[in-house]
Amino acid sequence: MAGEMSMLGSVILALFLAGYLGQQYLPPPKPRVIGLDLGTTFCSVGVFHPGSGEVEVIGDEEGRKSIPSAVSFNATAVLAGHEAVDLADTNPQNTIYDAKRFIGKIFEPEVLEQESARYPFKVSNNNGSAEFVITTNYTFSVSPEFIGSRLLLKMKKMAEGQLGVPIQKAVISVPAEFDERQRNYTVRAANLAGLEILRVINEPTAAAMAYGLHKVDVFNVLVVDLGGGTLDVSLLNKQGGMFLTRAMAGNNKLGGQDFSQRLLQYTTERIRQEFGAAPDLKEDIHRLRQAVEAAKLNLTLHPTATIQVPLHLHMRDSPKAPEGPAPSPVLFQVLITRKLFEELNEDLFQKILTPVKTVLTEGHLEKEDVDEIVLVGGSTRIPRIRRLISEYFGKDANTSVDPDLAVVTGVAIQAGIMGGSWPLQVSAIEIPNRHLLKTNFS
């Protein structure tokens, strides 16, 4: 009897030990909360892996980590991301992009009409809210939050595919200037995609978290977000584990596309000088734009880039006959130096400092009081822009995280905190700032 008891005891002890040891070697639990960056032009999804302590930004079927914020409708399908963009050429009036600019906002009827005129799709007015009119087999309207939900659903599926577990919970980022209604409608978009939102965090805060600034001893953080078309500057103030937005300013008419435009103007002028005519065929203009864009990106890494495109020009001497067959192509080629690109854009680059100075004035801070500077958005890769900012502050900005993925990286860290991956970690709670100011220059 006593022997049996002690054997039972050993078995229990062995089981207990096995369980204990097993736990040490068990793979870490899969993340259950995802981080979502629903951007105006691109969106991304990320997760925090507690085992490695790293953020993984999840790619689509082809491994692309940013998906275009576009949704396209045809008679049989609703497509989101790259698939929607692929359809945009043949189906422009049913391919919706920029929906984030409309989500949760109430517009004056005239403003909405002006907005609608900018797009190839129809924006209608539903008692002050925007709706997109889709015509496939029949005509119907969809809301901006429905568009958002299709993008979020796509990202939810990307995450589920990668992690192999169902996902129902998420943290999502929004622009710091979003009001309560815009935040609510963003949450509604997530709910439509079957996601419960555990927290909404501001994009600049997320970017600061991507650099671990919620963990280190800093007080004032300046976040410069320069995207394709807009510049947003935020001054954050950290108190304990909380980030407060002390001031915001921006320029909603300054971004990467303006820098490309300057290079395009220069290149077109060179073509005119060399051949006595500017490209007027739609395909030529499109090809030239693409070559200019590629050259701009290359100049970030290389001191020179070559623009080389075949063009079908209606030469000075030949009569202009757009109805006739296209003239035979000529090869246009020009070498662009980084120095030239910088000269063409110097006045635009200088404009970046205006909202930077505004937030310092409004936040009652000297530039020496800024502890860390965080750069977000693809255009902050431009070396001249980095230099301009570091010269102004007399120190380097934080740039080690991919500026296109800084926001999603921070949101994923917040998702990790919410998911309990870091039980002892103080999370970055945001206190809404009642004295918040937003200034826009143009």
Ligand X SMILES: *[C@@H]1O[C@H](CO)[C@@H](O)[C@H](O)[C@H]1NC(C)=O
Tell me the HSE value of 275 on the side-chain side, using a 13 A CA sphere. Answer: 22
Query: Nearest approach, Cβ of 74 to ligand X (angstroms)?
Result: 4
For the chain, state the CA radius of gyration. 26
Q: Which of 144-152, 235-243, 287-295, 412-420 is the region at the interface with ligand X (rule: CB under 6 A)?
A: 287-295
Q: How far apart are CA 132 and CA 117, in angstroms?
A: 13
CA distance 381 to 44: 19
How many residues make contact with ligand X (CB under 6 A)?
Answer: 25
Minimum CB separation of residue 165 from ligand X in Å reads 28
Note whether 122 and 132 are within 8 A (CB): yes
Give CA–CA dist 271/250, Å, rounded.
Answer: 35
Alpha-carbon span 221 to 236, nearest angstrom: 5
Q: How far is the CB of 347 from ligand X (least distance, A)?
A: 24
By the rule CB under 6 A, 53 interacts with ligand X: no
* Binding to ligand X in span 114-133, by CB under 6 A: 127-128
Can residue 306 be called a binding residue for ligand X (CB under 6 A)? yes
Choices 14-22, 36-44, 178-186, 319-327 (CB under 6 A): range interacting with ligand X: 178-186
Segment lying near ligand X (by CB under 6 A), choices 299-307, 337-345, 381-389, 419-427: 299-307
Residue 180 contacts ligand X per CB under 6 A: yes
- The residue nearest ligand X at its CB is 305
* Both tokens assigned to 435: 């004295």
Find the shortest distance in angstroms from Cβ 351 to ligand X: 24
CB of 129 to ligand X, least distance (A): 9
Token duo for residue 83:
């698939």
CB closer to ligand X out of 58 and 305: 305
User: Out of 93, 141, 162, 184, which residue is the one contacting ligand X (CB under 6 A)?
Assistant: 184
Strand 304-311 relative to strand 372-376: parallel, antiparallel, unpaired? unpaired
Binding to ligand X in span 63-82, by CB under 6 A: 74-77
**Which residue in 83, 131, 203, 372 is the catalytic one?**
203
Respond yes or no: is residue 203 known to be catalytic.
yes
Q: Are 352 and 256 in contact (CB under 8 A)?
A: no
73 vs 132, which CB is nearer to ligand X?
Answer: 73
Considering the candidates 60, 65, 83, 100, report the single residue annotated as catalytic.
Answer: 100
Q: Is 280 a catalytic residue?
A: no
Catalytic residue among 56, 60, 83, 225: 225
Residue indicated by tokens 């991956």: 421
Candidate list 146, 211, 243, 349; residue touching ligand X; CB under 6 A: 211
Rank residues 254 and 307 by Cβ distance to ligand X and give the closer one. Answer: 307
- What is the contact mask toward ligand X in residues 228 to 267, using x (rule: CB under 6 A)? ----------------------------------------
Q: Judged by CB under 6 A, which stretch of 111-119, 155-163, 301-309, 419-427 contacts ligand X?
A: 301-309
Q: How far is it, in rounded angstroms, from Cα 234 to Cα 375? A: 11
In whole angstroms, how close is the CB of 227 to ligand X at the nearest point? 21
Residue 8, classified by CB atoms within 10 Å of its CB into exposed (0-12), middle (13-18) or buried (19+), is exposed
* Selected binder of ligand X within 8, 51, 108, 181 (CB under 6 A): 181
With binding defined as CB under 6 A, does residue 303 bind ligand X?
no
Residue 151: what residue type?
L
Q: How far is the CB of 184 from ligand X (least distance, A)?
A: 4
- Closest CB to ligand X among residues 87, 99: 87
Spatial separation of the C-alpha atoms in residues 144 and 131, rounded to whole Å: 7
Q: What minimum distance in Å lies between the beta carbon of 8 and ligand X?
A: 54
Q: Let me know if 122 is a catalytic residue.
A: no
The CB-of-163 to ligand X minimum distance in angstroms stands at 26
Please give the angle made by the CA atoms of 45, 47 and 52, to the nearest 5 degrees.
Answer: 145
Binding ligand X (rule: CB under 6 A), the pick from 195, 207, 277, 305 is 305
Site of interaction with ligand X (CB under 6 A): 74-77, 87, 127-128, 137, 180-181, 184, 211-213, 216, 291, 294-295, 298, 305-307, 372, 396, 398
Active site residues: 37, 100, 203, 225
